[in-house]
Amino acid sequence: MEKSEKKGRKSTPLDSRIWRRYVQYLKLERGFSSHTQEAYLEDLRKWLRFLEDEYVDARYVSLDHLERFVVALAEVGVQARSQARILSGLRSFYRFLMVEREIDADPTELLESPKIGKHLPDVLSLDEINALMDAVDLSKDEGHRDRAMLEMLYSCGLRVSELCNLQMSNLYLDEGFVRVMGKGDKERIVPLSPQVTEELGYWFDDRNRIEPRPGHENYVFLSLRRRTKLSRILVFHVIKELAGQCGLQKNVSPHTFRHSFATHLLEGGANLRAIQAMLGHESIATTEIYMHIDRSRLREEILEHHPRNLLYKERCRAD
């Protein structure tokens, strides 16, 4: 049947049976969190909408279909980094179809991802970290909460989702560590500094006067107005407000504290494997981005202090 004859009755690009099995695969076999599962499924929905317009079943696509999909993403303004993420999700989906014997060959095998340059994240100096901490108004009802929140982001290197979901039962203040549930429900143990423990103590004095809503009793950080666990948006808002008060020109977000935590550890001589464990990175390659930051600093130090370079500078001044 010609494509023109099909106009007005688009085919279904994926059997609902396969969709249900893939959802189970992401949840049970890959162990993804609900947030990550939804991200994978939303990217798959983009692909299926594209295939619906092409009148193609998802099991019978070619490399040409995939390449035209990438072009379509670029045309609507999807950036290279987001394109790469979407394609990573499609590779996962077609690996699943191979395992399930729904297809005989993986159409994504020869698909190239868009080139992405290495991104060196903004890193705050210790003085900038201190300035943000000092900018918290402790006379406000939320003051001690916000100070403890910033201390945990920086001193423990938490992701914002990990901070918001942190449970009272995961804090071991006497022993000096916190149990963190990271991506894919992977657990890690992170030490608590005396400063964090002290700030948490001040916040708990205030928190004891709040009656959390049912289901939110065990969360460490609460919204004072809603009496529920903190939202990611509120954490972003607090940090942006403080950065504005300090006049920081850098792009400061909750993740900036995590980057700064890792970079300062590396600069202080910490082992890269130890930093990997603290951050909860599954691959050391993810942690190695901090090596690029440290190498830049190392180069500056060498140029500043190496005797041959000092001699060169003196000759230049003499000329």
Return the closest-CA partner of residue 68 out of 111, 10, 19, 97.
111
* Residue 282 CB neighbours (<10 A): 12
Residue 28 DSSP code:
I
Beta pairing partners, 229: 222
Determine the pLDDT at residue 314: 67
Determine the pLDDT at residue 311: 53
Determine the pLDDT at residue 4: 36
If DSSP codes are grouped into helix, strand and coil, which group holds residue 147? helix
Determine the pLDDT at residue 52: 86
The domain defined by 126-301 carries CATH number 3.30.360.10: no
- Catalytic pick from 144, 159, 259, 264? 159
What are the pLDDT digits (tens) for 68-115? 888 888 777 777 888 888 999 999 999 999 999 999 999 998 888 776
Q: CA 121 to CA 254: how far, in whole Å? A: 12
Amino acid identity at 256 = T
65 given a catalytic annotation: no
The rounded percent of the chain whose pLDDT value lies above 70 is 80
202 given a catalytic annotation: no
* Residue 137 CB neighbours (<10 A): 12
Could you give the dihedral angle defined by the CA atoms of residues 35, 38, 39 and 45, in that order, rounded to the nearest 10 degrees? -170
- Catalytic pick from 21, 91, 179, 183? 183
258 given a catalytic annotation: yes
Cβ proximity of 191 and 177 under 8 Å: yes
* Banded pLDDT at 290 (limits 50, 70, 90): low
Return the closest-CA partner of residue 280 out of 179, 194, 142, 209.
179
183 given a catalytic annotation: yes
Determine the pLDDT at residue 198: 93
What are the pLDDT digits (tens) for 184-201? 777 888 888 888 999 999
* Residue 143 CB neighbours (<10 A): 15
If DSSP codes are grouped into helix, strand and coil, which group holds residue 148? helix
The HSE-up count of residue 262 (CA atoms within 13 Å, CB side) is 31
State the architecture of 7-99 in CATH terms.
Orthogonal Bundle (1.10)
Determine the pLDDT at residue 243: 92
Predicted structure pTM score: 0.56
Mean pLDDT within 266-291: 64
Cβ proximity of 142 and 148 under 8 Å: no
Phi, psi of 64 (to 5 degrees): -60, -40
Mean pLDDT within 242-271: 83
Determine the pLDDT at residue 191: 85
What are the pLDDT digits (tens) for 123-176? 888 899 999 999 999 999 999 999 999 999 998 888 888 999 999 999 999 888
- Catalytic pick from 144, 145, 258, 259? 258
172 given a catalytic annotation: no
Determine the pLDDT at residue 165: 92
* Banded pLDDT at 318 (limits 50, 70, 90): low
**Residue boundaries of the structural domains of the chain:** 7-99, 126-301
What are the pLDDT digits (tens) for 36-74? 889 899 999 999 988 887 788 999 998 889 988 888 887
Cα angle 3, 5, 11; round to 5: 65
Determine the pLDDT at residue 12: 60
255 given a catalytic annotation: yes
